[in-house]
Amino acid sequence: MLSYRHAFHAGNHADVLKHFLLVELLHYLNQKDKPYWYLDTHAGAGLYALTEGYAAKNAEFEGGIARLWQRNDLPQALARYVALIRGFNPDGRLAFYPGSPLVAQRAMRADDRLRLYELHPTDGKLLAENVATLGRQAQWQQADGFAGIKAVLPPPPRRALTLIDPPYEDKSDYRRVVDALEEALKRFATGVYAVWYPCLQREEARALPQQLKKLPVKGWLRAELFVQGPSNDGFGMHGSGVFILNPPYTLYATLAEVLPYLASQLALDGGARHVLEKGGD
């Protein structure tokens, strides 16, 4: 399905969780000198204007990044992410929000590489424009990201972070996420994999974290942020999660500090809360 446009949701609470974690994972990878690759299965357009177009229509960013924009009491790790977003708005006005490719590129080093996939033709064209200045550091394809990562794993440097965040408009995406990870782990068992997913009442969404826990990895981490309670009619996204395979050992403690803060600052009602679990072999 090619109807989904992330611009409607740019900078919302789900982006805050996903991109905060992305920055933390890359910050951890940066601690070793050896270069790495960043793989993005559903890269989107790369950069979104918040003052016009799709993002301004529902202004979901007002319940996300805008609530953190002027805070001076941010936990250190969260402040690192907010500072990166401020770098795209040098005049101090929140007018642009980067998608995961540009968030990643700003957090990476010059010798690290990006491999990006986007199937939507319009977003793919915008992505090409937004990464054109990165030169050899970034390569993108208008392609199915699930199939794309299969072709490049394992990466030459044997270090990589893969972000998998399909729109889940088609319920088959839930099954494809699990299948893609099973295949990826056979090819590259030591890679770091981050899966974003919506928290919905539908059965497939509720079952996904349990399926991911069964994958053959040394460790996993589950982080979910709920900004409100589920609706009475059972529809709508009331939170989101990121499930990380082979996470950095320091990340659990970081999330134990940051998730309660986010739940309190981004809450829409008394149902706001967080979930944090870890496990593995």
The catalytic site residues sit at: 165
Residue count (the chain): 281
**Pairwise CA distance, residues 102 & 87, whole Å:** 11
**Pairwise CA distance, residues 55 & 267, whole Å:** 20
Contact 167, 4 (CB under 8 A): yes
Enter the DSSP assignment of 64.
T
**Pairwise CA distance, residues 169 & 9, whole Å:** 14
Tell whether the torsion through CA atoms of 20, 23, 28 and 29 is positive or negative. positive
Beta bridge partners of 197: 241
Q: Say if residue 260 is preceded by a cis peptide, omega within 30 of 0.
A: no
Tell whether the torsion through CA atoms of 169, 172, 175 and 180 is positive or negative. negative
For residue 105, give the nearest of 165, 21, 26, 220 by alpha carbon.
Answer: 26
**Pairwise CA distance, residues 222 & 34, whole Å:** 27
Q: Give the rounded distance of the alpha carbon of 263 from its chain centre.
A: 17
Pairing between β-strand 192-199 and β-strand 239-245 as defined by DSSP bridges: antiparallel
